[in-house]
């Protein structure tokens, strides 16, 4: 997918999720929270498929410098896969909590915190490195 398509797809998914979320919170609809999160499940499915296909492409082609045409290393792709898994875990826990299960909010937020800390560390290295994308 090109960058424009990816950006459009992500924005559309976010928009639909926000609308469904608002409807559910205002009690205009009375659906299960797992149904409200359907766009996000779809997004996760597409994202995981995309990453796995990219990992397979990485193995099947000979790359110079261990980096593909998007400057992505194999480890980076594995990291993105782990990020997806954490995101799904967070969404499932959030849905369960919203459905009324007695889970402490701390446990619900642990995957989110892990992802955020990883992102912060990642971002910190960018700020430290001499790259043009400060």
**Binding positions for another protein, rule: CB under 8 A:** 3, 6-7, 10, 26, 65-67, 70-73, 75-76, 104-106, 108-109, 112-113, 116-117, 119-120, 122-127, 129, 131, 133-134
| Residue number, 38 or 89, with CB nearest to another protein | 89
In the complex, the smallest distance separating the C-beta of residue 70 from another protein, rounded to whole angstroms, is 7
| Residue number, 9 or 38, with CB nearest to another protein | 9
In the complex, the smallest distance separating the C-beta of residue 134 from another protein, rounded to whole angstroms, is 6
DSSP assignments along 56-115, one per residue: HHHHHS--GGG--TTS--HHHHHHHHHHHHHHHHHHHHHHHHHTT----HHHHHHHHHHH
DSSP state of 6: H
**Cα-based angle 68, 116, 87 (whole degrees, multiple of 5):** 75
| Residue number, 36 or 94, with CB nearest to another protein | 94
Counting Cβ atoms within 10 Å, is residue 47 exposed (0-12), middle (13-18) or buried (19+)? Answer: buried
In the complex, the smallest distance separating the C-beta of residue 100 from another protein, rounded to whole angstroms, is 14
């Amino acid at each position: 997918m090109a960058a424009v398509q990816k950006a459009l797809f992500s924005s559309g998914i976010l928009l639909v999720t926000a609308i469904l979320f608002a409807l559910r919170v205002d009690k205009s609809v009375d659906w299960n929270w797992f149904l409200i999160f359907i766009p996000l499940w779809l997004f996760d499915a597409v994202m995981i498929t995309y990453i796995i296909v990219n990992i397979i492409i990485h193995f099947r082609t000979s790359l110079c410098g261990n980096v593909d045409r998007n400057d992505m290393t194999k480890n980076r792709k594995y990291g993105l896969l782990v990020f997806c898994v954490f995101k799904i875990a967070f969404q499932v826990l959030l849905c369960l909590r919203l459905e009324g299960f007695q889970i402490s909010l701390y446990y619900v937020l642990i995957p989110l915190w892990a992802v955020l800390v990883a992102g912060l560390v990642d971002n910190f290295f960018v700020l430290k490195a001499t790259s043009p994308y400060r």
